[in-house]
Chains A and B, each alone.
Chain A
Amino acid sequence: MPATALEIDGIGKRYGDIVALRDLTFEVRAAELFGFVGSNGAGKTTAMRIVLGVLAADTGEVRFRGAPVDFTTRRRIGYMPEERGLYPKMAVLDQLVYLAELHGMEVNGAHRAAEDLIARLGLRDRRGDEVQKLSLGNQQRVQLAAALVHQPDLLVLDEPFSGLDPVAVDVLSEVLRERAAAGVPVIFSSHQLDLVERLCDRVGIIRSGRMVACGTVDELRSTGDAELVVDAPSAPAGWTAGLSSVEVARTEGSVTVLRLRDGADDQAVLRAALATGPVHEFSRRRPTLTELFRNVVSTEERAR
């Protein structure tokens, strides 16, 4: 297992009477893409701002490579805030060079890094334009470049994919994978769960300021109820009646989707299906992250 890079240890934050985070604990490993998902207001942005030190936690500690995150460490973090922030009247290249220098790069290195990213993100034609004159998608690319330009040791990106077209999403995904492969852990939040599922090594689901599920996508998916898709055209309604721990989730034409609970025997289901006639499809389907997320969120809601 790769070494732990970033540790969020028992972080709590209150805004007056509202508890934004309670005992939030998780870790991001080296060279890992970590997806941070949760409903609006679950605490994702608060957690990220605390990591960056733009907000102070009431309790708990954030550690990077074993040491508490301090000002010097933070300068080595690439940050993309939820509310996009750039100087509207500054040219793209000037802006990136300026931010790179502020992070401590020397002037030539800053220029090289800025030019490289501009080319990589397809902004070469717009490098001399004021940021406010760019399309929203391009502004977003500049914002990402601003987070990457000082070649950070850790990337913290709040909703980096929102508002991007599919091509930009692909470019951004590739850049993030590349950085992670180079050893830079990436933590990002997103509501695009299919994207998170495709891209991330590990995922954390936050709800009401607390981590409710955390692990690899496979681990998370295996925790939910498995589904069985059976296409048996000749099967009469109620053919599963004799099977224990199996219930019909829905039927779509000749296809029956069954939900198997613990202890269910899928081979018994197959035998029952074959007994009705031909079986065209028999497959186990695990829940998608979206379904899992809905499930986690609604479970919590029911539990309230």
Chain B
Amino acid sequence: MTATRPPLSTSAVRPVWLIARRELRSRLRSKAFLLGTLATVVVIAGYLMLQGAVFSNASRSTVGLNGQATALAGPLTDSARSLGLDVSTVDVSDLADGERRVADEELDVLVSGAPASLHALVLKDIDDDLRNVLNGLMQRQVLVGQLAEADPEQDPQEILRIVADATVDVRSIETPDPERGQRTGVALVLIALLYFSLLLYGTMVAQGVIEEKSSRVVEILLATVRPWQLLAGKVIGIGLVGLAQLAVIGGIGVTLASVTGVITISGIATGSLIWGLVWYLLGYAFYALVFAASGALVSRQEEAQAVIMPVTMVVAIGFVLAISLLPGGGTDSTTTLLSLIPPLSPIFMPGRMALGAAPAWQIALSLVLTVAAIAAMVWLGGRIYRTAVLRIGTRVRLREVFTRSH
């Protein structure tokens, strides 16, 4: 009997892969996973549709008219109304005063100049519909002028060309960034996804560790695999499940948003998504080890909450700070500092990168710091896990982990 037995594999990597594969299979097959993914896709689709509706909704614009342009008050309101725009006009006698009011966002647009040669001053960018209305008014004025001095020998095509060339001259006080709003949207969706993924899959690691402890299966497993193999397999398996889910949800999200026209920056969105996946892997690696070490301290699911809570709080605080700070542009010193702190980088940095607000050196620095933090957690978390995972019974105190020799 002993003689006919085939040799057993002694590979150190194979058990890690077997353990990871078990995690993958049991998670991917579960209904909760499929329903969870579906629900997230639905929520994102709903959010995008809502955003689409909000973006395309005509907002009320206030237009200041200066000098000869004051004559346009009536025609402007009328043509705007015919396009479904709600425009109110204000006469501005002093050009400088008008500029100040644009800068203060009291006026959306300040229109000046002769009706045949209009100038528009805006803070950042002019609404496309409003620009069309102004162009229309101006072209009509030019056409009237051309017709008044009609020369029978002039080519009608020439007149049409002159008319078509007449467009309102738009000047911005600040550099326009037409992508800013979309980038903010992408950044917020991304950090929300990262937050949920880190929390969900990190917690799953902790619960998996506790499940193995509470069912005592860990004793059988550790009689044949080493603690690091068990830990690595579990972290990798669950991490891959999370990566797959995030990639599917993100891919569907970017596609839907581009198709529905909610975003026109699908290149930036795709790039952000890819960086998001990279940051997910880094953040997950860090938090999964923290969660695994925390989970190893207790023996029963009922005690899980107590050890998981402090970790989830850190992730949650990071998320709340990120969603409140990032819409400010992501370039201020607080945001910059927070994005360089390893436990927060995986949420802040991809957000800043989506906003285009992170210089390359900061990205590189945060990557280096995060990888260093992961390495530290491999050592520390691995040590806590190894010491605590076979201690069944009362909760293991961290102090004991470090005072015991084994």
Residues of A within 8 A of B (CB): 49, 52-56, 71-72, 74-77, 79, 81, 83-90, 98-99, 101-106, 109, 146, 150-151, 153, 182-183
Contact = CB atoms under 8 A, between A and B. Distances in A.
Contacts of B9: 104-106
Q: Which of A52, A54, A102 has the most CB of B within 10 A?
A: A102
B25 to A, nearest CB: 8
B215 A85 contact: yes
Interface of B: 1-2, 5-6, 8-10, 14-15, 18-19, 22, 26, 211-212, 215-226, 390, 392, 406
Contact of A54 (B5, B15, B222): B222
Nearest to B8: A104
Given A52-B223, A90-B26, A101-B18, A85 B218 contact: yes
A160 to B, nearest CB: 14
Contacts of A182: 1-2
A29 to B, nearest CB: 16
B69 to A, nearest CB: 74
A125 to B, nearest CB: 22
Nearest to A90: B26
Given A98-B22, A150-B8, A151-B5, A77 B216 contact: no
A176 B217 CA distance: 22
Contacts of A106: 6, 9
B224 A85 contact: no
B215 A88 contact: yes
Contacts of B224: 74-75, 99, 102-104, 150
B5 A102 contact: no
A81 B15 contact: no
Given A102-B225, A103-B8, A183 B218 contact: no
A150 B221 CA distance: 13
A102 B226 contact: no
Leading 4 A-B pairs by shortest Cβ distance: A104-B8, A85-B216, A85-B217, A83-B216
Given A71-B226, A102-B225, A83 B219 contact: yes
Contacts of A79: 219-220, 223
Given A83-B216, A85-B218, A98-B22, 9 more contacts: A49-B219, A56-B406, A79-B220, A85-B215, A86-B220, A101-B18, A102-B15, A102-B221, A183-B2
Nearest to A95: B217
Contacts of B15: 102
A81 B215 CA distance: 11
B175 to A, nearest CB: 57
Contacts of A98: 18, 22
Given A90-B26, A109-B6, A153-B2, A53 B215 contact: no
A81 B8 contact: no
A215 B23 CA distance: 46
A54 B8 contact: no
B3 to A, nearest CB: 10
Contacts of A74: 223-224
Given A74-B223, A102-B225, A183-B2, A83 B392 contact: yes
A103 B406 CA distance: 25
Nearest to B9: A104
Contacts of A109: 6
A296 B9 CA distance: 46
Given A75-B224, A90-B26, A102-B18, A54 B6 contact: no
B8 A87 contact: no
A99 B212 CA distance: 14
A34 B237 CA distance: 40
5 contacts: A49-B219, A74-B223, A86-B215, A88-B215, A105-B8
B334 to A, nearest CB: 45
A104 B2 contact: no
Nearest to B221: A102
A101 B222 CA distance: 14
Contact of A99 (B220, B226, B390): B220
